[in-house]
């Protein structure tokens, strides 16, 4: 527990939740388990179109090519997800982590295609109202602390996401409604923490990249087509302040993804988004500064909101997370 007292001081000052953006990562001491549970509610009925303007979500999920017809109606989506993660300290500078997730996804749609060809009609037909459960990817991750001083900490991480099977929904590009990836994804990044001169205050920077692997998908018109997804990158800059057992945090996030190809044909689905995150946390991790704590934990409520972007959902994501150390 002495190692936990000393080395978890960095965790006290750098705890940040994992999400679809660049992910905050940190190291636990040798022999210590960190267990995370996160409940997420994600919803959107609007999007930011290819001109950077707010629009109905159908402009994101079913935008017809020029001269291909028109789409009318509306669509909204929501998902309630549970993610579980276990992280083990192999040493004071090297950790391994495993994450599993699952959830209930609901799509409400009144979309209809007019004067449309076969491709657009099939896409709209695949976007009708639906509700289903889906397990997420199996995520394996290795974390390495590169530096740690009284002024800052730098962690490098890399890993692999493996879908347990094909997606429930037929693949239509970035708008595909699914919890899991179409295929394996190699990912990695850095998490930097700067301890400021203000007591119990810190600044954080996250950088992440993801390289999806070639895979085979079913589209509304054809089966067993070769999908090559574009590479993705994300970054986040944030501030956190502890006030006794309470934690206040805010962050600005940016994510982008290159367009995908299906059987060599380029899809017009490149995307980028700016979002902001605010968090309120409560726990006993600050007690590690004065002595051992029997059951270190932190509970956190977080809201993420899309601010601006290109070809992306205008979404609100609310999450409740628990981190416990053993």
Rounded Cα gap, residues 277 and 80, in angstroms: 18
Rounded Cα gap, residues 135 and 95, in angstroms: 25
pLDDT tens per residue, range 49-107: 888 899 999 888 886 666 567 888 999 999 999 999 999 999 999 999 999 999 999 99
pLDDT score of 309: 96
Q: What is the pLDDT of the chain when averaged over all its residues? A: 90
pLDDT of residue 8 exceeding 90, the answer is no
pLDDT score of 65: 65
Confidence of residue 1 (pLDDT cuts 50, 70, 90): very low
Rounded Cα gap, residues 247 and 301, in angstroms: 10
Kind plus residue range of the DSSP H or E element containing 120: helix 118-125
pLDDT score of 17: 32
Confidence of residue 236 (pLDDT cuts 50, 70, 90): very high
Rounded Cα gap, residues 65 and 139, in angstroms: 36
CB-CB contact of 21 with 234 (8 Å): yes
Higher pLDDT, 158 or 119: 158
Rounded Cα gap, residues 79 and 102, in angstroms: 10
Confidence of residue 134 (pLDDT cuts 50, 70, 90): very high
Rounded Cα gap, residues 52 and 214, in angstroms: 30
What percent of the chain is predicted at pLDDT more than 90? 78
pLDDT score of 117: 80
What is the third-level CATH fold of 2-325? Answer: Porin (2.40.160)
User: How far is the CA of 189 from the CAs of 34, 96, 143, 177, in angstroms?
Assistant: 20, 15, 10, 26
Rounded Cα gap, residues 219 and 192, in angstroms: 40
Rounded Cα gap, residues 79 and 180, in angstroms: 13
CB-CB contact of 292 with 7 (8 Å): no
pLDDT score of 24: 57
Tokens 């997804």 belong to: 229
Q: Work out whether strand 246-257 and strand 232-243 pair parallel, antiparallel, or are unpaired.
A: antiparallel
pLDDT score of 66: 60
Contacts made by residues 31-34, CB under 8 angstroms, sequence distance 24+: 31/3, 31/89, 32/3, 32/4, 32/8, 32/88, 32/89, 32/325, 32/326, 33/86, 33/87, 33/88, 33/89, 33/325, 33/326, 34/86, 34/87, 34/323, 34/324, 34/325
Which residue from 160, 281, 138 is spatially nearest to 210, judged by alpha carbons? 160
pLDDT of residue 14 exceeding 60, the answer is no
Domain ranges of the chain: 2-325
What percent of the chain is predicted at pLDDT more than 70? 91
pLDDT of residue 153 exceeding 90, the answer is yes
pLDDT tens per residue, range 237-284: 999 999 999 999 999 999 999 999 999 999 888 999 999 999 999 999
Rounded Cα gap, residues 71 and 175, in angstroms: 15
CB-CB contact of 98 with 106 (8 Å): no
Rounded Cα gap, residues 18 and 217, in angstroms: 27
Compute φ and ψ for 134, nearest 5 degrees.
Answer: -150, 135
pLDDT score of 226: 97
User: How far is the CA of 301 from the CAs of 17, 126, 219, in angstroms?
Assistant: 10, 35, 37
Give mean pLDDT, residues 231-240.
97
Q: What is the torsional sign of CA 278, 283, 287, 291?
A: negative
């Amino acid at each position: 527990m002495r190692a936990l007292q000393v080395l978890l001081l960095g965790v006290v000052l750098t705890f940040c939740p994992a999400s679809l953006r660049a992910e905050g990562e940190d190291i636990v001491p040798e022999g210590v388990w960190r267990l995370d549970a996160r409940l997420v509610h994600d919803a959107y009925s609007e999007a930011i179109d290819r001109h950077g303007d707010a629009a109905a979500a159908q402009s994101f999920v079913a935008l017809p090519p020029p001269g291909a017809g028109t789409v009318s109606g509306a669509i909204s989506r929501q998902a309630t997800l549970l993610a579980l993660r276990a992280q083990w300290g192999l040493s004071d500078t090297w950790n391994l982590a495993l994450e599993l997730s699952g959830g209930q996804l609901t799509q409400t749609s009144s979309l209809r295609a007019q004067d449309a060809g076969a491709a657009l009609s099939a896409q709209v037909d695949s976007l009708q109202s639906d509700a289903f459960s889906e397990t997420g990817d199996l995520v394996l991750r290795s974390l390495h602390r590169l530096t740690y001083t009284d002024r800052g900490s730098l962690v490098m991480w890399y890993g692999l996401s493996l879908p347990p099977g094909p997606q429930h929904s037929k693949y239509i590009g970035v708008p595909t409604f699914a919890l899991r990836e179409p295929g394996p994804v190699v990912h990695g990044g850095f998490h930097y923490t700067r301890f400021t001169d203000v007591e119990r205050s810190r600044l954080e920077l996250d950088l992440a990249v993801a390289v999806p692997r070639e895979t085979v998908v079913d589209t509304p018109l054809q089966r067993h087509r070769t999908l090559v997804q574009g590479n993705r990158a994300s970054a986040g800059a944030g501030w956190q302040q502890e006030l006794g057992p309470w934690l206040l945090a805010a962050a600005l996030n940016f994510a982008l993804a290159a367009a995908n190809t299906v059987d060599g044909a380029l899809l017009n689905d490149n995307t980028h988004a700016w979002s902001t995150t605010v968090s309120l946390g409560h726990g006993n991790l600050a007690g590690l500064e004065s002595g051992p704590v029997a059951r270190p934990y932190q509970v956190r409520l977080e809201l993420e909101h899309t601010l601006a972007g290109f070809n992306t959902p205008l979404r609100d994501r609310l999450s409740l997370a628990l981190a416990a150390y053993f």
